[in-house]
Amino acid sequence: MTTTPAVRARNLYKVFGRRPKDAVARLEAGASRTEAAGLGTAAVIDASFDVQPGEIFVVMGLSGSGKSTLIRMLNGLLEPTSGSVEVAGSAISDVPAKRLREVRRQNVSMVFQHFALLPHRTVIDNVAYGLEVQGVAKAARLAKAREVTEIVGLAGWEDKLPSQLSGGMQQRVGLARALAAETDILLMDEAFSALDPLIRREMQEQLVELQAKLGKTIVFITHDLNEAMFLGDRIAVMRDGRIVQIGTPEDILTDPANDYVAQFVQDVDRARVLTAASVMEPARAVVPLTVGPRGALRSLRDLQTAALFVTGRDRKLLGWVRDRHVMRQVKANDTDLAAIVNAEFSKVGPEAALVDLFELAVESPLPIAVVDGADRLLGVIPRVTLLAALGNVDTTTSPIPVLEPVTRISDVELDATLEGAIR
Ligand SMILES: Nc1ncnc2c1ncn2[C@@H]1O[C@H](COP(=O)(O)OP(=O)(O)OP(=O)(O)O)[C@@H](O)[C@H]1O
Ligand SMILES: [Mg+2]
C-alpha cells in the first residue's frame, strides 16, 4: 500500500530573469547553471522528491543554493518556471488562485527566520492572528491560541507584548501561530537560525517532541548540518540549485554522494547522528546457557576472550560470565553455568545515539550489548568500534578514556583446565 505523499515535487525549476523558459530548455538539454546564466538565474534546477506524511524533511545547503526558492514553490508563494508540486494529492501549480489559497490555508503554514510579530498586540493575539484573518470567531480562536501557546511552552506569557519576550520566546510565538492554523504541513525556513545555540538546541528538541505528538509533516530549511542531522528523518542537500543527495542522516554521513557532501559532513557531530544499530558488530563472544561451563570455557579459549555473553531461551540475553569464574566451575565439576551469570551489563536499544554510549563504555569492561525490545542480542559495540565510528574525532580529546585491556587467563591455563576436566 502506498500513501499519498504530503508534498510531491516533480522536476521543479525556478529561473529568475529575462527568459526563464528558455533557460529551463537549455538546462534540460544538459547546460550547466553557468551556461544558462545569460538567460536568467537558475535558483532551483530539476528538483524531485516526495515528503511523506509525518516526516521531517530537511533541505540543507549553503547560502544561495536555492533552499528558500524551493520551499516557496511548495506552498505556491512562487510559481515554478517548470515542473509540478502536489500538496496532499492536489496540484498547486497551474491552478486558479482561489483554489491555491484554499489548498494553502487547509494544508500548509510557514514559519520564517524573522517572524513578524505585531508589536502592539499581546502574545495570545499574535498567536490568534492567522485565525482572525481567516474569520474564525473570537472565542474559538482564543481557545485555540491558548492551547498552542501552552504546547510551545509559553503558558503564563499570554498577555505579554513581543518586546517583553526573548528572541527564543518570540520564535515560539511564530511557531504557535503556525500551529494554530492546524495545517498538517509546516514549512520552516531557517526558523531557528537567529537564536543563540542553547535556545536553538532547546527549540530543536521541542520541535521533534511536537512532531511526535502532533504528527505534523515538516519541511525544514537550514544551512546548519548539525541541525539538519538532528531534525531530519531525511535530508536533501542542495548545491547551486540542484539537489545533490537525498537520504537519511546516516546515509549522508556514511555514504556521501560526492565530495561536496563529504566536505559538508566533515565537521558534523557524528556522535549525535549515528545510532547503535549502525555501528554494532555481530556478537561472537556469546554462548547459550545450555553449553554449560565446559562449553563456555572452550569458547573463551577459541575466541581468545576474557568474558562471554550468555543467552537463554528465545536467544534472550541473560548476562555474562568471566573466564576465571567459568574455570573455577569446570575445576569443581559444577555444571550450573547460570549460577555464575552476572546480570549486570550495559545494554541499549538499536536506536540509541552514540553520544549516549560513552558513559556506558567507560563503566563496563564488556562491549555494550545492543538488544531488541524482547532483550534479544542484536549485536555488540566494543569500545574501539565506538571510537572508530567517530572517524575524524581526535581520540586524545575523546570523552572515552582509553582503558587497559581486560586481562585474560592464559591459554595454557585454560587448556590445562579443559584437559583436566576431560580426564
Ligand atoms: N526574487 C529573486 N529574483 C532574482 N534572483 C533571486 C530571487 N530570489 C532568489 N534569487 C536567487 O536565486 C538563488 C537562490 O536563492 P535562495 O534565496 O533560494 O537561496 P537560499 O539557499 O535560500 O540562500 P540563503 O541560505 O542565503 O537563504 C540566489 O542566487 C538568489 O540570488
Ligand atoms: Mg533562504
pLDDT along the chain (423 residues), means of 10: 88 95 95 93 97 96 93 92 94 84 84 81 93 90 94 93 89 90 91 80 87 92 88 94 93 84 76 84 90 93 88 91 93 94 91 84 80 92 78 44 56 81 50
pLDDT at 400: 39
Q: Is the dihedral of CA 297, 302, 307, 311 positive or negative?
A: negative
Give the Å distance between the CA of 293 and the centre of ligand 1. Answer: 69
Distance CA 118, CA 124 (A): 11
**For the whole model, what pTM was predicted?**
0.71
Long-range contacts of 91-100 (CB under 8 A, 24+ apart): 100/76
* DSSP element (H, E) containing 197: helix 197-214
Write the DSSP assignment of 336-352 as a string of letters.
-GGGG-B----EE-TT-
Closest-CA residue, ligand 1 atom 12, reads 43
Confidence at residue 319, expressed as pLDDT on a 0 to 100 scale: 94
Residue among 165, 174, 217 nearest 193 (CA): 174
68 CA distance to ligand 1 middle (Å)? 7
Identify the nearest ligand to the CA of 69 by its number: 1
Q: What torsion do the CA atoms of 24, 30, 34, 38 make, to the nearest 10 degrees?
A: -50
* Atom in ligand 1 nearest the alpha carbon of residue 238: 21
Question: Rg of the chain's alpha carbons, rounded to an integer?
Answer: 28
CA-to-CA dists, residue 192 to 5, 34, 238, 372, 392, angstroms: 26, 32, 19, 35, 28
Distance 77 CA to ligand 1 centre (A): 14
Q: Whose CA is nearest to atom 18 of ligand 1?
A: 66
CA of 333 to the centre of ligand 1 (A): 77
Q: Calculate how far, in angstroms, residue 190's C-alpha sits from the geometric centre of ligand 2.
A: 7
Residue 198, pLDDT score: 73
| Ligand approaching nearest to the C-alpha of 63 | 1
Substitution site in 12, 15, 41 for ligand 1 pocket (most atoms within 8 Å of beta carbon): 41
The values of phi and psi at residue 52, to 5°, are: -80, 150
Q: Which residues line ligand 1 (CB under 6 A)?
A: 16, 41, 43, 61, 63-69, 223
Which DSSP category does 203 fall into? Answer: H
Number of H helices, E strands in the chain: 17, 16
Contacts of 209 (CB under 8 A, 6+ apart): none
Q: How many CB atoms are closer than 10 A to CB 410?
A: 10
Q: Supply 263's cell numbers.
A: 566536505
Q: What is the pLDDT of residue 316?
A: 93
Where are the alpha helices (H) located in 232-346, listed in sequence order? 249-254, 259-265, 270-273, 276-279, 292-303, 323-331
